[in-house]
Chains A and B, each alone.
Chain A
Amino acid sequence: MARRVVITGMGIWSCLGTNLETVCESLYKGKSGIIYDPVRKEMGFRSALTAKVEMPNLKGLVPRNQRVYMAEEAQYAYMSTLEALKNAKLDQDYLDNNVVGLLFGNDSTADAVVKSVDKMREYKDTAMCGSGAIFQSMNSTVTMNLACLFKLRGINLTVSGACASGSHAIGLGSILIRDGFEDMIVCGGAQEVNPFSIGSFDGISAFSTREDAPEKASRPFDRDRDGLVPGGGAATVILEEYEHAVKRGAPILAEICGYGFSGNGDHISTPNVAGPSRSLQLALEHAGMGIKDIGYINAHATSTHVGDTQEAKAIYGIFGDSGVPVTSTKGQTGHEMWMAGASEIVYSMLMMKNNFIAGNLNFENPDEDSAKLNIVAKTTEAHFDTFLSNSFGFGGTNSTLIVRNL
């Protein structure tokens, strides 16, 4: 009999709050996490808009000599993982005595790299970079730190798949558990929020310049969208084999039923329709589900002209006039990039468990393609038992997850 993969814990550290309860309330109320950051303007940004994410204070939680190895995003991930482990009823004693894996999506650690290079240039002496720089300056900073701090001894791997990183991490984790390689994996995604990490992204005019109204700037699927707003933080989900979870009396929250993926094999930044469509189809096939089985779609839609259009076409191409509710939570959070695939699973889970769909913030007027979808503009009380979550990234990497309530 096939092994089933379930979610037994979640944690979140984002611009909508730094724990599950607060984030759930923010989602329900349609809170925006977007602000204007004057520092970015001074640095030469076209757009000074960003999500505002609280920096955790790890003093007292992590000793100084280990804390210096942690880049910004690793600190967010530590906090979301602490919450997820607690949520899953896992303590350090359990982690010390059982093999648990770790798969996190992360695709940059620019702030740490810039700061260490600045030191090399200033002092012309590599020792001045300090002991932590090398461990902060690698994309695997999140997994290398979490594995050592929580003493995790299973797979220890960072997934770098651009803005689909977090989603792929969860999808790959589910395959490793399904196929019997692991019984439990800490999965997630993390994203740094500092200006260095996205300055060059701003430079290609990808960001909204609606600076006079930060909370209105991220408007996925809306006719008048003018680009994305960068965000970040970290999200963690504990994946576990079903019987394993039952045996240890774990809270069994939901099941990962399907993971679809594809590559566009096309332009580096402009998405097409065929690639995402194949990802959606593969996820449905993998889950053994039809379109009527999906109760809600959490879209990737980042508030860019072409990206949202292509995704709307892909969703409509597969779901047609089924009327499945669709939203993008990025209207509230901005684009959480490497983290988004994981955080949007957490956001969708919170909605599913609490019987609502958070309105697609700033969706005021549809365009030709989004008009064909059932985009929920205002928060609605709604019960659904299965959702589908899309994540697409630069280079044409696509990931789709299907999750069912338990």
Chain B
Amino acid sequence: MTKEEIIEKVNSVLAEEFEVEESVITPDAVIKNALELDSLSLVDLVALIDQEFGVKISNAELPTIKTFADLYTYIESHQA
């Protein structure tokens, strides 16, 4: 997947799953705030990325992914 394809898909699946407008998902936005995630629903983010992209985010690396831009980059660099 190209970076553009990744961005488009991430925005679409996250907006649908977490029931937010796609417009709140911008590269610099903080994921937890934009998607209104708490410590439990963060698990759903990890599961969704695994399911949709085949990319596992480890517990150790999760805190380093703060913005959507971080997430796009992480998925791009960990694609099979």
Residues of chain A touching chain B, judged by Cβ–Cβ distance below 8 Å, are 59, 64-65, 68, 123, 125, 127-132
Q: Which of chain B's residues have a CB closer than 8 A to the CB of A131?
A: 40-44
Would you give 25 A-B contacts (Cβ < 8 Å), ordered by A? Answer: A59-B19, A64-B18, A64-B19, A65-B36, A65-B37, A65-B38, A65-B41, A68-B41, A68-B44, A123-B50, A125-B50, A127-B46, A127-B47, A127-B50, A128-B47, A128-B50, A128-B51, A130-B43, A130-B44, A130-B47, A131-B41, A131-B42, A131-B43, A131-B44, A132-B44
Residues of chain B touching chain A, judged by Cβ–Cβ distance below 8 Å, are 18-19, 36-38, 40-44, 46-47, 50-51, 56
Q: Which of chain B's residues have a CB closer than 8 A to the CB of A128?
A: 47, 50-51
The answer for the CA separation of A128 and B44 in the assembled complex, in Å, is 8
- Chain B contact surface mostly: helix
The answer for the CA separation of A123 and B44 in the assembled complex, in Å, is 14
Q: Which of chain B's residues have a CB closer than 8 A to the CB of A132?
A: 44
Tell me, rounded to whole Å, the shortest Cβ–Cβ distance linking B22 to chain A. 15
The answer for the CA separation of A136 and B46 in the assembled complex, in Å, is 19
Among A59, A65, A123, contact of B40 (Cβ-Cβ < 8 Å): A65
The answer for the CA separation of A59 and B16 in the assembled complex, in Å, is 12
Q: Which of chain B's residues have a CB closer than 8 A to the CB of A68?
A: 41, 44
Counting chain B CB atoms within 10 Å of each CB, the highest count among A59, A65, A68, A129 belongs to: A65
The answer for the CA separation of A173 and B4 in the assembled complex, in Å, is 58
Q: Which of chain A's residues have a CB closer than 8 A to the CB of B44?
A: 68, 130-132
> CB distance A127 to B43 under 8 Å?
yes
The answer for the CA separation of A59 and B17 in the assembled complex, in Å, is 12
The answer for the CA separation of A131 and B43 in the assembled complex, in Å, is 6
Q: Which of chain A's residues have a CB closer than 8 A to the CB of B18?
A: 64
Q: Which of chain B's residues have a CB closer than 8 A to the CB of A59?
A: 19
Q: Which of chain B's residues have a CB closer than 8 A to the CB of A123?
A: 50
Tell me, rounded to whole Å, the shortest Cβ–Cβ distance linking B19 to chain A. 5
The answer for the CA separation of A346 and B42 in the assembled complex, in Å, is 41
Give B59's nearest chain A residue, CB to CB.
Answer: A127
Tell me, rounded to whole Å, the shortest Cβ–Cβ distance linking B24 to chain A. 14
Tell me, rounded to whole Å, the shortest Cβ–Cβ distance linking A337 to chain B. 30
The answer for the CA separation of A146 and B18 in the assembled complex, in Å, is 21
Given A65-B40, A131-B42, 14 additional A-B pairs, CB 8 A = A59-B19, A64-B18, A64-B19, A65-B36, A65-B38, A68-B41, A68-B44, A125-B50, A127-B46, A128-B47, A129-B47, A130-B47, A131-B44, A132-B44
Q: Which of chain B's residues have a CB closer than 8 A to the CB of A130?
A: 43-44, 47
The answer for the CA separation of A355 and B41 in the assembled complex, in Å, is 50
Q: Which of chain A's residues have a CB closer than 8 A to the CB of B47?
A: 127-130
The answer for the CA separation of A132 and B47 in the assembled complex, in Å, is 12
